[in-house]
Amino acid sequence: MGCGTGLPTNAQVVSDEMCDVCEVWTAESLFPCRVCTRVFHDGCLRRMGYIQGDSAAEVTEMAHTETGWSCHYCNNLNLLLTEEEMYSLTETFQQCKVIPDCSLTREDFLRYRHQAAKRGDSDRALSEEQEEQAARQFAALDPEHRGHIEWPDFLSHESLLLLQQLRPQNSLLRLLTVKERERARATFLAWGSGSTISEAECHRARHSWFHKLLPEAPSSSVSISHVGPIADSSPASSSSKSQDKALMPTERESRSVDWPTFLRENVIYILAARPNSAAIHLKPPG
């Protein structure tokens, strides 16, 4: 599916027929990834160590819901980096004295942000506004308010920042899978009118990629990113409406957004919604 001047036609997304691990088709249930076309047997995921303990039940429950489940390839945003990009990120961690595989407190995260800003320019520092933004991002990475963020969530966040900094938009667009483009298309059609969507609806979409299923929701005990349009009656929609009201009228009404622009402006947030973690790995502004 392309992202040319017009809205693309609906693409038929078909998941693979054989397990990605054992390459065998059986009558037993296969768990489809919500991002790519891979499918997996429960036993194969257990044997390879990709799911352990209670997470097996979580995968079983989530894989066949509308929200879905991301496989180990798509769940790890660090895998999107090239070898050179990964070397650059590792070098930054070393210079800023970040210890790999360890959780970070709010103070650790803000200290790292300050040190990373000063790389190559000791006089440069985060502005007060940038520090506040970093604090909001930490809170988004710690949705359960535990006072620290896990290493995989921190690594995903930093990987996204590096992609945003180094990759041109066309390169980022090529990272999207057919399933992700289809969900974006469904969102655009659900909230838009014809071939365009309003600035306010584009803003709502940017936040909608990260709305989580609440832990006490009847359908699941797992918090996971929701990717796709949200019903107006849902709590997530109410939240995004309140965020939308915070925008200035001139910003809400300033322009209409066509499909190519919509996809281009949302691509980094669509990628950020891949992990199964409840954390928001790249908090949109506003």
What's the one-letter identity of residue 5?
A: T
**Cβ contact 263:184 at 8 Å:** yes
pLDDT of residue 88: 93
Give me the phi and psi of 31, to 5 degrees please: -90, 115
Give me the phi and psi of 39, to 5 degrees please: -130, 155
pTM of the full structure = 0.79
pLDDT of residue 44: 87
Report how far residue 146's alpha carbon sits from residue 5's, in angstroms, rounded to the nearest whole number: 45
Give me the phi and psi of 108, to 5 degrees please: -60, -45
Thinking of the domain 14-75, which architecture would CATH place it in? 2-Layer Sandwich (3.30)
| Positions of CATH 1.10.238 in the chain | 81-166
Digits of tens for pLDDT over the chain (286 positions)? 444 445 565 666 777 888 888 888 766 678 889 999 998 888 888 888 887 766 667 777 777 777 788 999 999 999 999 999 999 999 999 999 999 999 999 999 999 999 988 875 656 778 889 999 999 999 999 999 999 999 999 999 999 999 999 999 999 999 999 999 998 998 898 887 778 888 888 888 887 776 544 343 333 333 334 444 433 333 344 334 334 433 444 444 568 889 999 999 999 999 999 998 889 999 887 6
| Positions of CATH 3.30.40.10 in the chain | 14-75
**HSE-up (13 A, CA, CB side) for residue 65:** 22
* Residue tagged 């940017």 (tokens): 206
pLDDT of residue 199: 86
Q: Candidates 1.10.10, 1.20.140, 3.40.50, 1.10.238; correct CATH number of 81-166?
A: 1.10.238
